[in-house]
Amino acid sequence: MSVINVGQSIALGVVEGLTEFLPVSSTGHLKIVEGLMDVPVDDKGVVGFTAVIQVGAIAAVLVYFFSDIVRIVGAWFKGLANKEERYHHDYKFAWWVIFATVPVVVVGVAAKPLIEGPLASLWVVAGSLIVGSVVMWLADRYGRNKRGEDDTGFRDAMLVGSSQILALLFPGFSRSGATISTGLLLNLDRLAATRLSFFMGIPALTGAGLYELPGALGSGESALPLAIGTAVSFVVAYASIAWLLRFVARHTFTAFVVYRVAVGLLLFALLGAGTLNG
């Protein structure tokens, strides 16, 4: 029997779309909303559902950055066929994204029982929101913002891509928060760090969604809520991407830091009072 109904899938799709690429933790917010709706956050069907609707958000990235992706993929294929093309930055960048995805895939598969079990706790979410906020504040405060997207290299890609592991293990840390913070600590400017975060998330999140799809359907989750939640997350995520890129060009991440700390403290209070079950 399906755990999530259509109304809940719409709500979760909105939350996923709003928070997947904002540095506030989509997983953390999804678990909070699931808890408020009395949806069992550690149910396998629910875990699979949240992974699948991420595909909608990733589809929004593919559409929004379509011309960039076509250019990068085109350069990669040209480089495979022509040695001279392998000096092109886009060819190298394509390989960097592939290599940088390997660590998070290995950890995701190896730590799957922990990720879907003890680490799925709302207590972990609350703590990760606050700890991740400290990291983001330090990165925003001490990053030099002096390197653009064309200045990125293999080391940048590997460190930014590998930082996704923090969000994988500790829901609430935020995948985008971890990757953007890492980029800032590597002295990338805010726009470059944010765009790199988007590109690094494409293979990892797409793979996670496709990997969880058979399990989500096989666990009794109806295809209709999955389809609706994914479609809603796509629409909302597209708008969120456009807004975030305009925002980071002119502002620091202080507002997100304050928001994350407030949500983390509120979540601790709700859990301590028994209003939410961890």
- What pLDDT score does 208 carry? 75
Alpha helices in the chain (DSSP H): 6-19, 26-36, 44-64, 66-81, 89-110, 112-116, 122-142, 154-162, 164-169, 175-185, 190-218, 223-248, 254-273
Q: Which of 94, 112, 93, 116 is nearest to 104 (CA)?
A: 112
Cα gap 230→16, rounded to integer Å? 9
**Residue 138, SS3 per DSSP:** helix
Name residue, tokens 């085109």.
Answer: 74
Six-digit token string for 75: 């350069």
The per-residue pLDDT for 69 is 94
Q: Do 110 and 151 touch, CB atoms closer than 8 A?
A: no
Contact 161, 176 (CB under 8 A): no
Residue boundaries of the structural domains of the chain: 6-273
For tokens 């995520």, what's the residue? 237
User: Are the CB atoms for 140 and 253 separated by under 8 Å?
Assistant: yes
Closest CA to 25 of 159, 161, 138, 177: 177
Per-residue pLDDT of the chain (278 residues; tens, 9 = 90+): 567 889 999 999 999 999 989 999 887 788 788 888 888 766 777 777 887 888 898 899 999 999 999 999 999 999 999 999 999 999 999 999 999 999 999 998 899 899 878 888 889 999 999 999 999 999 999 998 899 988 999 999 999 999 999 998 998 899 999 999 999 999 999 999 999 999 998 888 788 777 777 766 666 667 888 899 999 999 999 999 999 999 998 999 999 999 999 999 999 998 999 887 77
Task: Identify the three-state secondary structure at position 147.
Answer: strand
pLDDT confidence of residue 163: 96
SS3 189: coil
Stated pTM of the model: 0.87
